[in-house]
């Protein structure tokens, strides 16, 4: 029937075979690193990097060769479950996939290369590279898979590799706790993902994305019921819930409110890992997933996504304002940027969201690696001088631009990209996103004012905050005095050395990718971007979706982007000036900041503690959960077990009772009858006591009885 | 020739060996473990033959001809004058549901032998009991005659009791008696139902012979059986010509029920105001629920696991729990489908309750083995939920979970055994940072913990996801299990991640130190024998996770028929 | 007056009978037996049976009680001590006897004597005996006519009893003498 | 004189006599009890004979009873004497040859 057509196996084509090779390379690297002896770790790591480089080249070739060509799809039957259409698996290579392949492989390669220097003295060097391979493999799996089930599988696997990499320094309690937290929070999202899958499975009995698209289009929405062409009927709400549930998966992985708490903690992992996983690729998987299933979402789910995205963008930016840790700032910034992307998905700016994903991947990776360089340099400094200080605390840094000029350059370029300064990549993608959001608010509110404007409003507000915290970071790290030295005057700044070449080269490549010119011929207008030209938002196929919605959005987006650009530039200037004013070298505010221990007001505390989400979770979920668990255990011990025990004891008592009854009653009866007979004998014998008077007595007694009987 | 007797060999070979070991002179008692290992090897070879010879396109389930490797020999025949004739057969055979269990059992039992290699104490007794257990387990999975099934089912109890009670930990007396009482209680419920079924069901073939339609069993044609059944339904058969049977397959056939008997499907008898068949299902469910185990009848499990020696924990978690689930499928669901449908909401509810309750308790466990035991409770809840949904996905998922949990929980108990072997202490907080001291061990722990929490790539994932899909779709396909149960069950996945990761974090990560009675020099990394045990389980869990067809091919036909029979047939009956 | 005498005799009879019952000394018992007999004889007189009363006194007091006292003396070695007899079965005897007497008295009160008396032919004579009516005459005539056979038998019985008594009491010595 | 009074006296004497028979250890005292009982019976006879003045049946019976009582007393005493010779006691407790 229809299913056999929908899910028919599709043959392998050269591009998909290439995909398979690309997928296999990191896995082979993982196996190599996992099985080879520790002695050969250096050369093996170079081989691993080489394999990723090869994969990157292949994916670049793949991108170029499949540019603007229709999607390549290969599908094969995976397994059969009783009475159901076959469960398939396969590779779906479209433009998104090809682009993501390049991004993941390139960044992965750069991180591999960077790590050979960064991790060179680490005990777990081999383990580290193995897990990097595993991660790359899983990430590529998400990108290529044509089936939500497969995506889910790799989805969990990236969670696993993220877990393993965060807990790389497992001897540190904070690292192992962070890893655990990351995995569990991701699991929460995954549970939602699973429910989304279940809803789709119930309706369509398949999870193949291409088939789902067809089936979704065929399904009907009428009278509050959502009927699939299979005849399965659900309440229409489930259509929205399916979208939201799938988004829940993305919320977990992409650290969206309220599941963003794991990402800052994940900075416990090595910095290159943070760059690869927690900035560039894995956290973007949520965005990628949403893009994959974009056409299956309905308007309510989209609104939900946009709202959550905007809230997260704002919350992340606020939290980034007051962090001391150089990586934490970047982590919150990542959360914020991911919020932007998902807001983009939610507002229908599909292409802008993906565009931002790619630009962000590069500049954020660059930022992280640059931050890694700073940390590396300071660690070396710490090592050389024997000073003890926290190499990640920005309050200890300052003035490093002189000693780490190269790092400063990369950091500056990518910071500007992140802030969204014109001529840098971030400007293009962020503007596209904001104009999309603005257009969406216009469309949704139907011209009048409404709460929909809060979404672009939060977006613009976040621009201010982004500029503020990035300027703050730049100023704190690279300008002013090197504060460790100013505290310990017997050392000089000269002892801080620039990082090795291999690290620098990674920064170069990523820094270049942060420039606007790479992405667009006209770096002031995102609509001229070659990139956006290639990405086109697909038409949403959900039943009951307004067909005019997307064209109207695009129309408005084009018309409003000039004003959006102006607004955002104004916002950036405001943010940048505030940042400069507060944290310029020698400013009183900055001075007081370096000395104080605690946050000075409620707002700062709120920001520093990431809106107290951790505490809230502890209070609302963790504590009650543990309390209930312990309660259940003691309930089991005290109530169930005791009931069982007392049942057993009662049984024993009953047995004893029955034993007693047996002895006393049953045996007693026998004994008694014997005793009774004997007694009777004794009694009658005693009557025959030879005592005549006794006989007479009894006779008289008899007479008494007789008289008694007669007169009554 | 071999095919016909394959199952019998599988059952009676260990039994014979048990007798041989019991008769060994004390001077050569050390070879008893070699004998047991040899039997295990032979069984493995036979299992391969079984797997290769099995025709997965035949469903079995409720058709006598559909069972493969079947042997059906009269066993007990009694003339009961006016009560008719009693006939119990030695009837064994496998279909998709049971062959997976048989294969699982053989593998786990083999691994159990390797794990028992270090037993020093009362070697002869241990291994002969182990072999008796072996025979009873396989017998239970292949028996198709209720009496035979019950016999094997009860037979498992005794060696298990002694194995826990004699070779167990410090509180073994308590644990073994608790185990014994619980399961004995369950058996009694099953016995009641078995007898009432026996009184209600006839063997149409034998009755045809008895009635004079044919001279012997070979000559009986399906038409004759139909004639017997129509005569029976019209009350035209004299009672002394009825041949009562324990045959489970006959029990699934509506036509074989004596009108107005206790379990009659047409005119429902009421007992205490409840339909007798529903009560019977309830009893069967209770009986097997203890074995599965279902919260709140599970408290024997943590104690039994904690006190049992490692190999016995492995067998207990890997196979014995599955006997409960398998029995529920084979008897409860197949014979009384109307009851299964009527109570499906409750079955699903108890499944979900087990999932959450088990996970919560695991979260609060301070003992590694207890944690794993509770995780077993939690995972067996998925089996129940899948069965309750009675959708193809759900039931497949449930059967898959049974097999998958067999491998994974077996491995988990081996893992707990590794640490117990070295330190005789399983309290989680006594350890920290084991990853730096025992890196290889840690790798296996992480692998199996993740496998158990349903990480994709391992068998548990396929099982759990299909159970959840099935439970979710049940409400729109047959309306048996509401959606919220599936949604709550997914939180079980989160909780399982929580307790496993927390355990990993506490025991394996962090700075290396030990507390309490545990000394640092006790901890050495894995030994070759332990690799031999863990690697096969790892391979099986991985294979089943990546190529689910290996198992699904075996069970698909049976599951399809099973769902079809119960779904359609049961609903018809329930309406009556 | 007659009632008073009757009750007096009743009182004496019962009292002396109780002395027999409660006294430990056998001789006291024997003598109070005499008193009882005398009182009973008095009651006979009141009941209009003078001859029986005389016979009572002669036979009992003159014969039986003397015999009894002889018996007492013959069976007790007199050594200055009082002749004491113990009691036994006190409690059960008391219970049985109290209940018996209670039952008897209850039964007597249940009897409707007035009906009995009204049906009696001689009803009037009871209260007013005819003048010149002589009991002894009637008794003598009766004994020699209507009751001759019992009278003779009683005589023979008495004879046999006395002979037998003498034989029993004295036989042993002779047999010993053999 | 109401006839019940005779009956009541007779009943009381009978009971006392019976009690004497049952409780006393000495055989001769027991014999006294027997005499009391016979007297009680006689009282009844005499009382009833009041209702039958002409025929005097009660008085005749009373006379015969007295005669028989005399004979009984004679024989009884003879036996007691014999017993005393044989057992050297008249204590009935010690004479338990009839003990089963």
Chain B residue closest in CA terms to A152? B456
Residue C70 located in a structural domain: yes
Which neighbouring-strand residues pair with B71? Answer: B92
Number of domains in chain B: 1
Are D and C neighbours with ≥3 CB pairs closer than 8 A?
Answer: yes
In a domain, C150, yes or no: no
pLDDT on residue C121: 47
Pick the CATH number of D3-92 from 3.40.50.300, 1.10.287.3510, 2.60.120.10, 3.40.309.10: 1.10.287.3510
Given an 8 Å threshold on Cβ–Cβ distance, is D100 in contact with A700? no
Query: Can you list the residues of chain C whose pLDDT is less than 70?
Result: 77-83, 114-134, 171-178
Task: Determine the distance from the C-alpha atom of residue B218 to the mean position of all C-alpha atoms in its chain, rounded to a whole number.
Answer: 34
C-beta of residue A178 within 8 angstroms of C-beta of residue A115: no
**Cis amide linkage into residue B293, ω under 30° from 0:** yes
Report yes or no: C137 at the D interface, CB cutoff 8 Å.
no
CB contact under 8 A, A688 and D30: no
Mutate: best of A202, A207, A627, A631, partner B, most B CBs <10 A? A202
**Contact yes or no for A426/A417 (Cβ under 8 A):** yes
Chains B and D touch (3+ CB pairs under 8 A): no
Would C169 be classed as within a structural domain? no
Mean pLDDT of chain B: 86
Does A697 sit within 8 Å of C93, measured CB to CB?
yes
Residue among D2, D50, D82 minimizing CB distance to C48: D50
Is C140 part of the contact surface with chain D (CB cutoff 8 Å)?
A: no
pLDDT in tens, D57-93: 888 888 888 888 888 888 888 888 888 888 777 777 7
Interface contact flag, A704 C99, Cβ < 8 Å: yes
Task: Provide, as residue numbers in chain A, all residues whose Cβ is less than 8 Å from the Cβ of B512.
Answer: 171
Contacts of A81 (CB under 8 A, 6+ apart): A87, B392, B393, B396, B466, B548, B552, B556
Q: Summarize the confidence of residues A11-35 as an average pLDDT.
A: 89
Minimal Cβ distance to D23: which of C40, C90, C171: C90
Query: Distance, in angstroms, between D18 CA and closest chain A CA?
Result: 9
**Domain containing B386: what range?**
343-566
Q: Has residue A372 got a pLDDT over 50?
A: yes
Name subunits touching C (3+ CB pairs < 8 A).
A, D
Compute the residue count for chain C. 178
CB atoms within 10 A of CB C31: 17
CA A676 vs CA A642, A682, A687: distances in Å: 46, 10, 16
Which residues 6+ apart lie within 8 Å of A180 measured at CB?
Answer: A163, A167, B501, B502, B504, B505
Buried b (16+ CB within 10 A) or exposed e, B382-392: bbbbbbbbbbb
Closest chain D CA to residue A700: D18
Helices (H) and strands (E) in chain B, counts: 25, 7
The residue range of the domain holding C71 is: 1-87
Chain A residues closer than 8 Å to B490 by CB: 191, 194-195
Q: Please write the tens of the pLDDT for every residue from B200-231.
A: 888 888 888 877 777 777 777 878 888 888 88
Residue numbers in A near C103 (CB within 8 A): 704, 707-708, 711
- How far lies B474's CA from each of A194, A437, B348, in Å? 16, 40, 11
Tell me: pLDDT of B401 over 90.
Answer: yes
| C100–A711 CB contact, under 8 Å | no
Residues of A in contact with D22 (CB under 8 A): 693, 696-697, 700
Of all residues in chain B, the one with the smallest CA distance to A77 is: B549
Backbone angles phi, psi at A515, to 5 degrees: -85, 145
Distance from CA of A671 to the nearest CA of D (A): 26
Q: Among A414, A430, A436, A422, which Cα is nearest to A517's?
A: A422
Do residue A632 and residue B557 have CB atoms under 8 angstroms apart? no
CB contact under 8 A, A707 and C104: yes
Cβ–Cβ below 8 Å for A81 and B393: yes
Q: What is the pLDDT of residue B268?
A: 67
CB B445 within 8 A of CB B504: yes
Mean pLDDT of chain C, nearest integer: 79
Instruction: Search chain D and give the residue with CA nearest A690.
Output: D99
Q: Please report, for chain D, the start and end positions of each structural domain, with discontinuous segments joined by +.
A: 3-92
Q: What is the DSSP-derived secondary structure letter of residue A71?
A: P
Res B84: pLDDT: 66
Residue with more model confidence, B559 or A532: B559
H helix intervals, A446-500: 454-478, 483-487
What are the pLDDT digits (tens) for B226-281? 888 888 877 777 777 778 888 888 888 877 888 777 777 666 677 777 788 888 88
Q: Please give the Cα distance from A518 to B361 (Å, whole number).
A: 56
> Is residue A99 a contact partner of residue A357, using CB atoms and an 8 Å limit?
no
The neighbour count for residue A603, using CB atoms within 10 Å, is 12
What is the tens place of the pLDDT at every residue in B486-524?
Answer: 989 998 888 999 999 999 888 888 888 888 787 877 788
Q: Is C110 on the interface with A (CB under 8 A)?
A: yes
Identify all chain A residues contacting D30, using CB atoms and an 8 Å cutoff.
Answer: 693
pLDDT tens for C2-20 read 888 899 999 999 999 999 8
Q: Do C103 and A697 touch (CB under 8 A)?
A: no
Closest CA to B324 of B179, B449, B511, B469: B179
Return the pLDDT at A387: 78
Q: What is the pLDDT of residues D26-36, one digit of tens each?
A: 888 888 899 89
pLDDT confidence band for B348 (50 / 70 / 90): very high
CA distances from B247 to B60, B149, B196, B201, B383 (A): 14, 10, 13, 9, 26
Residues of A in contact with B360 (CB under 8 A): 625, 628-629, 632-633
- Among the residue ranges A417-431, B372-386, D81-95, the one predicted with the least confidence is D81-95
Residues A124 and A167: their CA atoms lie apart, in Å, by: 11
For C28, name the nearest residue in chain D, comparing CA atoms only.
Answer: D29
Instruction: Check if A547 contacts C (Cβ < 8 Å).
Output: no
CA distance readout (Å), B11 to A279, B142, B156, B321, B388: 58, 9, 13, 19, 31
User: How many other β-carbons are positioned within 10 Å of the β-carbon of residue B536?
Assistant: 17
- For residue C126, the model assigns a pLDDT of 46
Nearest to A690 among D22, D30, D98 (CB): D98
Tell me, what CATH number does C20's domain have? Answer: 1.20.120.1200
Best mutation target, C99, C102, C104, to test chain A (most A CBs within 10 A) = C99
What b-and-e string marks burial along A26-57, b requiring 16 or more CB atoms within 10 Å of the CB? Answer: bbebbebbeebeeeebeebbebbbebbbbbbe
Q: What percent of chain A has pLDDT over 90?
A: 12
* pLDDT bracket for residue A278 (50, 70, 90): confident
The conformation of residue B93, written as its DSSP 8-state character, comes to E
User: Which residues pair with residue B14 across a beta bridge?
Assistant: none
- Assess if residue C118 is contained within a domain: no
- Report CB contact under 8 Å: A628, B490: no
**Cβ–Cβ gap A693/C99 under 8 Å:** no
Q: Which of A163, A187, A641 sits opposite B299 (nearest CB)?
A: A641
Residue of C nearest to D72 (CA): C161
How many interface pairs between A and D have CB atoms less than 8 angstroms apart? Answer: 30
Closest by CA to A394, choosing from A488, A319, A337, A470, is A470
- For A173, the closest of B296, B510, B553 (CB atoms) is B510
Phi-psi region of B204 (alpha: psi -120 to 50; beta: other; left: phi over 0): alpha
Report CB contact under 8 Å: C110, A711: yes
Question: If you count residue pairs, one on C and one on D, with CB atoms under 8 Å apart, how many are there?
Answer: 240
Could you give the number of structural domains in chain C?
A: 1
For residue B504, the chain A residues in CB contact (below 8 A) are 176, 180
Query: Chain C residue closest to D60 (CA)?
Result: C139
Determine how β-strand B243-245 pairs with β-strand B85-94.
Answer: parallel
Residue A233, phi-psi category: left (phi > 0), alpha (psi -120 to 50), beta (remainder): beta
Identify the band that residue B68 occupies on the pLDDT scale cut at 50, 70 and 90. confident
At residue D98, the pLDDT reads 60
CB within 8 A of B449, min separation 6: which ones? B412, B500, B501, B503, B504
What is the helix (H) or strand (E) element at residue A220, kind and residue range? strand A220-222
Q: Which residue has the higher pLDDT, D100 or B118?
A: B118
The pLDDT value given to residue C125 = 46
- Out of C88, C92, C103, the one facing A707 most closely (by C-beta) is C103
A171: contact with C, CB 8 A cutoff: no
Dump pLDDT digits (tens) for A622-666. 888 888 888 888 888 888 888 888 888 888 899 889 888 888 888
- On whether the CB atoms of residues A365 and A457 are closer than 8 A, the answer is no
Interface subset of D 48-77, CB within 8 angstroms of C:
49-56, 58-60, 62-64, 66-75, 77
Tokens of A619: 């209070």
Give yes or no for D18 touching C (CB within 8 A). Answer: yes
**Residue B304 domain flag:** no
């Amino acid at each position: 029937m229809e299913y056999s057509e929908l899910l028919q196996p599709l043959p392998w084509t050269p591009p998909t075979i290439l995909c398979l090779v690309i997928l296999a390379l990191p896995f082979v690297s993982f196996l190599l690193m996992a099985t080879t002896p520790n002695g050969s770790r250096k050369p093996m790591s170079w081989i691993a990097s080489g394999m990723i480089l090869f994969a990157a080249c292949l994916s670049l070739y793949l991108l170029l060769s499949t540019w603007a060509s229709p999607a390549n799809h290969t599908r094969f039957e995976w397994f059969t479950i009783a009475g159901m259409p076959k469960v398939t698996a396969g590779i779906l290579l479209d433009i998104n996939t090809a682009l993501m392949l390049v991004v993941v492989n390139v960044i992965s390669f750069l991180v591999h290369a960077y790590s050979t220097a960064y991790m060179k003295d680490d005990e777990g060097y081999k383990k580290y590279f193995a897990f990097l391979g595993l991660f790359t493999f899983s990430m590529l799996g998400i990108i290529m898979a044509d089936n939500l089930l497969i995506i889910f599988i790799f989805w969990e696997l990236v969670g696993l590799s993220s877990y393993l990499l965060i807990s790389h320094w497992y001897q540190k309690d904070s690292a192992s706790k962070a890893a655990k937290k990351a995995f569990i929070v991701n699991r929460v999202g995954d549970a939602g993902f699973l429910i989304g899958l279940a809803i789709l499975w119930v309706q369509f009995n398949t999870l193949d994305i291409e088939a789902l698209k067809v089936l979704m289009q065929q399904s009907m929405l009428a009278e509050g019921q959502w009927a699939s062409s299979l005849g399965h009927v659900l309440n229409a709400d489930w259509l929205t819930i399916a979208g939201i549930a799938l988004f829940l998966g993305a919320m977990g992985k992409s650290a969206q409110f309220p599941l963003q708490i794991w990402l800052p903690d994940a900075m416990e992992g090595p910095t290159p890992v943070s760059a690869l996983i927690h900035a560039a690729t894995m956290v973007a998987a949520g965005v990628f997933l949403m893009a994959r299933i974009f056409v299956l979402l309905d308007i309510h789910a989209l609104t939900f996504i946009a709202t959550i995205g905007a809230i997260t963008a704002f919350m992340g930016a606020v939290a980034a304002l007051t962090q001391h840790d150089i990586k934490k700032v970047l982590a919150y910034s990542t959360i914020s940027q991911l919020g932007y992307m998902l807001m983009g998905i939610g507002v229908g700016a599909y292409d802008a969201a993906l565009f931002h994903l790619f630009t962000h991947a590069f500049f954020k990776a660059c930022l992280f690696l640059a931050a890694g360089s700073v940390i590396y340099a300071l660690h070396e400094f710490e090592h050389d001088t024997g000073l003890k200080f926290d190499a990640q605390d920005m309050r200890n840094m300052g003035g490093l631009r002189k000693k780490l000029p190269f790092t400063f350059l990369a950091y500056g370029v990518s910071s500007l990209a992140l802030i969204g300064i014109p001529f840098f990549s971030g400007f293009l993608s962020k503007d596209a996103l904001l104009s999309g959001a603005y257009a969406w608010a216009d469309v949704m509110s139907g011209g009048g004012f409404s709460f929909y404007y809060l979404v672009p409003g939060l977006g613009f507000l976040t621009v201010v905050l982004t500029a503020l915290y990035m300027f703050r970071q730049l100023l704190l790290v690279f300008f002013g005095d090197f504060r460790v030295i100013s505290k310990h005057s017997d050392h000089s700044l000269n002892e801080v050395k620039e990082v090795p070449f291999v690290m620098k080269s990674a920064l170069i490549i990523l820094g270049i990718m942060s420039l606007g010119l790479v992405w667009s011929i006209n770096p002031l207008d995102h609509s001229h971007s070659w990139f956006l030209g290639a990405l086109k938002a697909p038409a949403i196929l959900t039943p009951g979706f307004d067909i005019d919605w997307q064209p109207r959005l695009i129309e408005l987006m084009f018309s409003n982007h000039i004003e959006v650009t102006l607004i955002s530039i104004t916002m950036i200037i405001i943010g940048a000036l505030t940042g400069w004013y507060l944290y310029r070298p020698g400013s009183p505010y900055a001075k007081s900041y370096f000395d104080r221990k605690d946050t000075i007001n409620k707002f700062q505390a709120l920001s520093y503690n990431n809106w107290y989400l951790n505490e809230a979770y502890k209070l609302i979920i963790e504590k009650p959960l543990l309390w209930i668990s312990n309660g259940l255990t003691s309930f089991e011990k005290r109530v169930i077990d005791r009931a069982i025990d007392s049942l057993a004891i009662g049984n024993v008592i009953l047995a004893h009772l029955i034993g007693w009854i047996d002895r006393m009653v049953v045996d007693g009866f026998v004994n008694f009858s014997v005793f009774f007979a004997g007694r009777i004998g004794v009694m009658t014998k005693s009557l025959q006591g030879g005592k005549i008077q006794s006989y007479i007595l009894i006779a008289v007694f008899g007479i008494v009885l007789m008289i008694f009987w007669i007169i009554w | 020739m071999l095919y016909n007797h394959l199952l019998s060999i599988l059952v009676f070979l260990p039994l014979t060996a048990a007798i041989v070991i019991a008769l060994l002179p004390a001077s050569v008692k050390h070879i008893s473990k070699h004998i047991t290992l040899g039997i295990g090897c032979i069984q493995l070879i036979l299992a391969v033959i079984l797997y290769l010879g099995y025709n997965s396109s035949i469903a079995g389930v409720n058709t006598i001809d559909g069972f493969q490797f079947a042997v059906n020999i009269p066993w007990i025949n009694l003339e009961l004058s006016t009560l008719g004739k009693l006939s119990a057969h030695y009837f064994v055979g496998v279909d998709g549901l049971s062959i997976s269990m048989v294969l699982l059992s053989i593998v786990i039992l083999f691994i159990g032998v390797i794990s028992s290699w270090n037993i020093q104490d009362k070697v002869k007794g241990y291994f002969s009991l182990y072999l008796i257990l072996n025979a009873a387990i396989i017998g239970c999975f292949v028996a198709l005659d209720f009496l035979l099934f019950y016999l094997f089912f009860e037979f498992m109890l005794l060696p298990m009791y002694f194995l826990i009670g004699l070779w167990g930990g410090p509180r073994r007396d308590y644990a073994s008696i608790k185990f014994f009482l619980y399961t004995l209680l369950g058996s009694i419920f099953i016995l009641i139902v078995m007898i009432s079924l026996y009184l209600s069901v006839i063997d149409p073939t034998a009755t045809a012979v008895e009635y004079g339609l044919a001279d012997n069993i070979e000559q009986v044609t399906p038409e004759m059986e139909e004639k017997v059944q129509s005569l029976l339904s019209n009350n035209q058969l004299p009672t002394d010509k009825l041949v009562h049977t324990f045959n489970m397959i006959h029990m699934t056939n509506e036509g074989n029920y004596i009108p107005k008997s206790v379990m009659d499907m047409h005119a429902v008898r009421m007992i205490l105001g409840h339909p007798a068949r529903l009560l019977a299902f309830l009893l069967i469910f209770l009986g097997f629920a203890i074995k599965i185990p279902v919260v709140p009848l599970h408290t024997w499990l943590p104690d039994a696991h904690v006190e049992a020696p490692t190999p016995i924990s492995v067998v207990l978690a890997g196979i014995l729990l599955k006997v409960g689930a398998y029995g529920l499928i084979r008897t409860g669901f197949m014979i009384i489908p109307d009851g299964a449908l009527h109570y499906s909401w409750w079955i699903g509810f108890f499944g979900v309750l087990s999932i959450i309750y088990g996970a919560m308790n695991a979260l609060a466990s301070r003992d590694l083995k207890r944690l794993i035991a509770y995780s077993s409770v939690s995972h067996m809840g998925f089996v129940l939920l899948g069965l309750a949904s009675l959708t193809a996905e759900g039931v497949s998922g449930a059967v898959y979970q049974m097999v998958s949990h067999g491998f994974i929980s077996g491995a988990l108990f081996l893992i707990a055994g590794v640490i117990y072997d070295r330190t005789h202490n399983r309290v989680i907080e006594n350890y920290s940072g084991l990853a730096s001291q025992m890196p290889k061990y840690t790798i296996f722990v992480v692998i199996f913990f993740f496998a158990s929490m349903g990480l994709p790539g391992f068998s548990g994932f396929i099982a759990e996801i299909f159970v959840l899909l099935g439970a979710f779709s049940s409400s729109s396909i047959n309306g048996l299990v509401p959606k919220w149960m599936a949604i709550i069950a997914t939180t079980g996945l989160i909780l399982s991640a929580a307790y496993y990761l927390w355990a990993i974090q506490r025991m394996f990560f962090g700075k290396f130190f030990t507390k309490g009675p545990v000394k640092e020099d006790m901890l050495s990394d894995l030994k070759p024998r332990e690799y031999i045990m863990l690697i096969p389980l790892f391979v099986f869990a991985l294979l089943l996770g990546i190529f689910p067809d290996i198992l699904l091919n075996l069970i698909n036909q049976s599951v399809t028929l099973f769902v079809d029979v119960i779904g359609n047939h049961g609903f018809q009956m329930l309406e009556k | 007056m007659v009632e008073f005498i009757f009750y007096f005799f009743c009182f004496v009879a019962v009292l002396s009978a109780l002395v027999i019952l409660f006294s430990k000394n056998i001789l006291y018992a024997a003598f109070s037996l005499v008193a009882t007999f005398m009182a009973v004889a008095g009651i006979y007189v009141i009941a209009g049976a003078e001859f029986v009363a005389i016979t009572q006194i002669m036979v009992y007091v003159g014969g039986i009680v003397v015999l009894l006292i002889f018996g007492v003396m013959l069976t007790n070695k007199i050594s200055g001590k009082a002749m004491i007899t113990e009691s036994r079965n006190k409690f059960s005897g008391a219970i049985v006897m109290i209940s018996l007497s209670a039952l008897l008295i209850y039964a007597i009160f249940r009897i409707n004597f007035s009906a009995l008396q009204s049906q009696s032919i001689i009803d009037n004579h009871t209260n007013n005996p005819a003048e010149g009516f002589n009991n002894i005459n009637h008794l003598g005539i009766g004994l020699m006519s209507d009751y001759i056979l019992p009278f003779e038998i009683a005589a023979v019985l008495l004879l046999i009893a006395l002979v037998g008594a003498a034989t029993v009491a004295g036989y042993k010595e002779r047999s010993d003498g053999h | 004189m109401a006839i019940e009074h005779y009956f009541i006296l007779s009943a009381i004497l009978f009971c006392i006599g019976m009690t004497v028979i049952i409780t006393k250890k000495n055989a001769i005292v027991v014999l006294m009890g027997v005499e009391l009982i016979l007297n009680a019976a006689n009282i009844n006879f005499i009382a009833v004979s009041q209702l039958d003045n002409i025929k005097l049946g009660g008085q005749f019976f009373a006379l015969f009873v007295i005669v028989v009582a005399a004979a009984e007393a004679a024989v009884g005493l003879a036996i007691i004497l014999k017993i005393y010779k044989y057992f050297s006691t008249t204590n009935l407790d010690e004479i338990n040859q009839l003990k089963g």
